[in-house]
């Protein structure tokens, strides 16, 4: 296998891997938001069953849900995502016969490597948003438990 094709193969593999990670983060964010909504409905049910429960737990739980919602929106909001090389440019270079096959492979590989590097910061932001969503979800579950405990013992 030629070095240029090895570089192309690895760049292509990392591009696919990066896209899978992005989809996984999006899937985890939507699942987290859905689970948080279920927890919020349990909190609302608990609040209506036991009206003597302190309102502060409910407000704290609602704040945690808003934290989850904002964090998942940040995670899901796709700011910029690069896929390189642009197919139009690649097609024009192939049709023009101006470049050898090896030059096209190397150009494509370099363009993919650039997009991989540029996309890393967006994946990092998604990861941080998802981490914050997990923290707020944990708080929401904790507040549900505390509401339940305080309603039993009061």
Residue 131: the pLDDT is 96
Distance, C-alpha 37 to centroid of its chain: 18
Q: What's the sign of the alpha-carbon dihedral 4, 7, 12, 15?
A: negative
Which stretch of DSSP H or E encloses residue 131? helix 101-153
Nearest CA-CA partner of 123 in 10, 8, 19:
19
Residue 91: the pLDDT is 62
| Per-residue confidence in pLDDT tens, the chain, 154 aa | 576 677 777 888 888 888 999 999 999 999 999 999 999 988 888 777 666 556 777 888 899 999 999 999 999 987 777 777 766 666 666 666 666 767 777 777 888 888 888 888 899 999 999 999 999 999 999 988 888 887 777 6
Residue 56: the pLDDT is 79
End-to-end CA distance of the chain: 74
Instruction: Note whether 80 and 122 are within 8 A (CB).
Output: yes
Spell out the residues 6+ positions from residue 46 whose beta carbon is closer than 8 angstroms to its own: 53, 144, 147, 148, 151
Q: What is the pTM of this model?
A: 0.78
């Amino acid at each position: 296998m030629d070095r240029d094709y090895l570089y192309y193969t690895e760049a292509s593999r990392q591009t696919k891997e990066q896209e899978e990670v992005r989809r996984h983060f999006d899937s985890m964010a939507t699942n987290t938001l859905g689970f948080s909504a279920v927890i919020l409905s349990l909190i609302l049910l608990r609040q209506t069953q036991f009206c003597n429960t302190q309102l502060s737990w409910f407000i704290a739980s609602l704040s945690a849900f808003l934290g989850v919602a904002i964090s998942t929106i940040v995670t899901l909001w796709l700011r910029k995502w690069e896929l390189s090389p642009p197919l139009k440019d690649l097609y024009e270079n192939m049709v023009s016969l101006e470049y050898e096959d090896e030059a096209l492979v190397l150009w494509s590989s370099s363009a993919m490597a650039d997009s991989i590097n540029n996309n890393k910061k967006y994946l990092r932001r998604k990861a941080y948003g998802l981490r914050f969503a997990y923290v707020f979800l944990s708080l929401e579950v904790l507040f549900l438990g505390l509401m339940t405990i305080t309603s039993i013992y009061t």
